[in-house]
Structure 1
Amino acid sequence: MTGAVEASANGLAASGESGPEPAATWAGPLAMLLRTPGVTDVLVHRPGEAWVDKGLGLERVEVALPDADAVRALAVRLAAAGGQRLDDASPVADARLPDGNRLHAVLPPVAPGCAAISLRVVRAQALTLADLAAAGAIDARTAALLARIVRARLSVLVCGATGSGKTTLMASLLSLAAPHERIVVIEEAGEIAPAHPHVVRLVERRANVEGAGSVGLARLVREALRMRPDRVVLGECRGAELREVLSAFNTGHRGGMTTIHANSPGDVPVRLTTLGALAGMPAAAVEAQAAAGLDVVLHVARSGGVRRLTEVCVLRARSPGLAVEAAWSLGARGRWGPGPAWEELLSVLGEAADAVA
């Protein structure tokens, strides 16, 4: 029975006929969870239960998936809806579903005993800075500072752990760009949806089952530069595409943004040089281009179920190396205040020292 389900589902993926059908058609017992307000993640790795994140950490809920075969069949159906193959020959799938949500699925024996399904719910509309302030992610003064950073067309690197709100913050910032500006967004999967009238989206294409036809992020960044962008945005920098991003930010394309995974702002220099090494760049070259091309580092973190911005930093070239220093940060008592690099940030913004503080 499992083989028949997979054959049917994979045939659908190959034909490209998944279409925009309702989530209930392909999400089965998870459809209601995906529609629940506030849910950001839905995870399944054993029969009868799922784990959902509503912003306060993972919570267990019961779902009508009676056995491992049912979980496997659902994983295959979800992958087919995203146009991906998932079977014994290709046991891992990463896809964008028809409703925009992201899927990652793994079949046994890679996931022993039961298929593992991870669904990330993509926000259909970007939050405003006022929304972020209401949720406790920033305060009013920080919102004003972020708005000035966008208006000044500073190049921004957003860092943080998985699920900390990097994409959410970046979409909110891009929504503040002037309406006449052309924003070209490059992503692995279409997640960034700024409230802006002029957004061009480029999404990575992976190789087919024969290993051909891939169009990677590095190439898409290069293509984006030929599309007359005012702002070049890379959803996540996690490999050799760092070379193209730094090149773009150093050749007149100001106001761009990207994100990387980093546990703290202090880890950013090491992360950048590590990613640069994947592109064959010497550490000194990465540090020099990052210092020249990236103006601001925004660090986001998740604590107590709340995703919040914790630091606004600037990159400084050192001899040797690269330093990230706080210009505006969230203190232990929950109050924002200027840091050692405050005057430098204001100098870049071209504003007086009392502009925000």
Structure 2
Amino acid sequence: MRTYDDALLADVRARLATVPAGVADLGDVVRDAVRHRGVVLGSHALERLVHDVRDATLGAGPLQVLLDEPGVTDVLVNGPRDVWVDRGSGLEHVPLDLGTDDDVRALAVHLAAAGGQRLDDASPVVDARLPDGARLHAVVAPVCPRGALISLRVLRPGGLPYTELVAAGMLPPGTGDLLPALVAARANVLVSGSTGTGKTTLLAALLALAPPDERLLVVEEARELVPTHPHVLHLLARRANVEGRGEVTLADLVRATLRMRPDRIVLGECRGAEVRELLTALNTGHDGGWATLHANSAADVPARLMALGALAGLDPAAVAAQAAAALDVVVHLRRTDGRRHVAEVGTVGLDDGRLVVEPALTWDGSGAPVRGPAWDALVAQLRDRA
């Protein structure tokens, strides 16, 4: 239940707008607004009011309590009383009442504004990053039937150490040293998988294992990769403004990294024409690169690369030749019964001119790993690079 009404919230926002950002203390502003209305509150009630108003003005409003909950990775709003969370083991319905469809739309508009984006009938779809790092995707009517649809992905600063991922069963038993060996060997690796399989979590943990004297250039649409490493530089893409100007694409940023003395070039997610720049960079002596890619399986990675290459104007033969020369390994992740794990590790190569990913290690998450036909080649490659 809300401890404030819309009039009080509007008064607080108006007062905050009159002072420079970061100067006013929100608690003092709320107390002044309450005092101006002639209302007397006890210390506990006032503290709760300040907390709720802070969530409404600076956070995600009634959803903030879910975002702050340890273990929550996603918060999804389908309607006023249709709220879901993922605590790491699948979606769970939450008995949270957000009011009406109009209230949900207003919440979506507020979240978009907090992320510096516009959300209205003229611009009904938005991707943004909230001040606390959460990633927002929102859609409002008429694109959706009514109100708004809100998707929030929680970013955990620093991520989890690789040892914790191994302990949690993300790697096949007895193979926990394999992925760090890829980092040490400066292999060029794609981490593939569907949404929510832990690609970003695993990549951040592995990048933290890179030697501390290496310079990591991380290119993303929104900042999600936060490896615990002393020398990480982040380059973030920017959308065009309302006048259609000022856009900076992922492809622009990958090209920019080449002039910034990178030891490792990392692309948070390869999803478009920037695949051309990525393959070019990894084919010009910049080894040790990593990227994530959405794919259903490791065997489907070549088809995904072909599709992305077509967006960049590359024909299949050019993509195959470039990818086979640039990439060494694909690490594919899957989610089984709510648990994220590495399902396959494969090597990248050509078979009669066709790009293929040959299985080196497969695992269904429930038993011992199975060595594939490329296992010996992978071990030899790591040994040669050691």
Structure 2 residue aligned with 1:328: 361
Aligned mates of 1:250, 1:351 — CA distance in 2: 19
Aligned mates of 1:173, 1:278 — CA distance in 2: 30
Structure 1 residue aligned with 2:38: none
Q: Is the 8 A contact 1:23 1:99 kept in 2?
A: no
Aligned mates of 1:259, 1:28 — CA distance in 2: 32
Structure 2 residue aligned with 1:106: 139
Structure 2 residue aligned with 1:294: 327
Determine helix, strand or coil for the equivalent of 1:350.
helix
**1:50 alignment partner AA:** V
Structure 2 residue aligned with 1:60: 93
Q: Is the 8 A contact 1:18 1:83 kept in 2?
A: no
Q: Is the 8 A contact 2:172 2:342 kept in 1?
A: no
> Does residue 204 of structure 1 match 2:237?
yes
TM-score, structure 2 length as denominator? 0.85
Which structure 1 residue ranges, 5 or more long, are not aligned? none
**2:205 alignment partner AA:** S
Aligned mates of 1:83, 1:293 — CA distance in 2: 37
Aligned mates of 2:366, 2:74 — CA distance in 1: 30
Change (3 A) 1:163 1:220: same
**Which of 75, 82, 89 does residue 49 from structure 1 map onto?**
82
> Does residue 318 of structure 1 match 2:344?
no
| Pairwise CA RMSD | 2.6
How many residues in Structure 1 have an aligned counterpart in Structure 2? 346
Change (3 A) 1:332 1:74: closer
> Does residue 124 of structure 1 match 2:157?
yes
* 1:216-227 equivalences in 2 (<5 Å): 216-227=249-260
* 1:1-357 equivalences in 2 (<5 Å): 23=55, 25=57, 26-139=59-172, 141-331=174-364, 333-350=366-383
Determine helix, strand or coil for the equivalent of 1:263.
coil
Aligned mates of 1:302, 1:179 — CA distance in 2: 31
| Shift, 1:333, TM fit | 4.7
Q: Is the 8 A contact 1:93 1:104 kept in 2?
A: yes
Aligned mates of 2:307, 2:298 — CA distance in 1: 15
Which structure 2 residue ranges, 5 or more long, are not aligned? 1-5, 27-53
Q: Is the 8 A contact 1:129 1:143 kept in 2?
A: no
Q: Is the 8 A contact 1:18 1:82 kept in 2?
A: no
Q: Is the 8 A contact 2:332 2:344 kept in 1?
A: yes
Change (3 A) 1:332 1:68: closer
Q: Is the 8 A contact 1:46 1:68 kept in 2?
A: yes
Aligned mates of 2:176, 2:261 — CA distance in 1: 29
Determine helix, strand or coil for the equivalent of 1:325.
strand
| Shift, 1:73, TM fit | 0.8
Aligned mates of 2:55, 2:204 — CA distance in 1: 24
TM-score, structure 1 length as denominator? 0.91
**2:324 alignment partner AA:** A
Higher Cα Rg: structure 1 or 2?
A: 2
Aligned mates of 2:78, 2:21 — CA distance in 1: 28
| Shift, 1:114, TM fit | 2.0
**2:83 alignment partner AA:** A
| Shift, 1:332, TM fit | 7.2
Aligned mates of 1:95, 1:162 — CA distance in 2: 18
**2:226 alignment partner AA:** A
Determine helix, strand or coil for the equivalent of 1:185.
strand
Residues 175-233 of structure 1 show CA distances to partners (whole Å, capped at 9, x for unaligned) of 11000000000001000010100000000000111111110000000001111000000
Q: Is the 8 A contact 2:336 2:365 kept in 1?
A: no
| Shift, 1:126, TM fit | 2.0
Change (3 A) 1:18 1:282: farther
**2:248 alignment partner AA:** V
Aligned mates of 2:232, 2:242 — CA distance in 1: 31
| Shift, 1:69, TM fit | 1.0
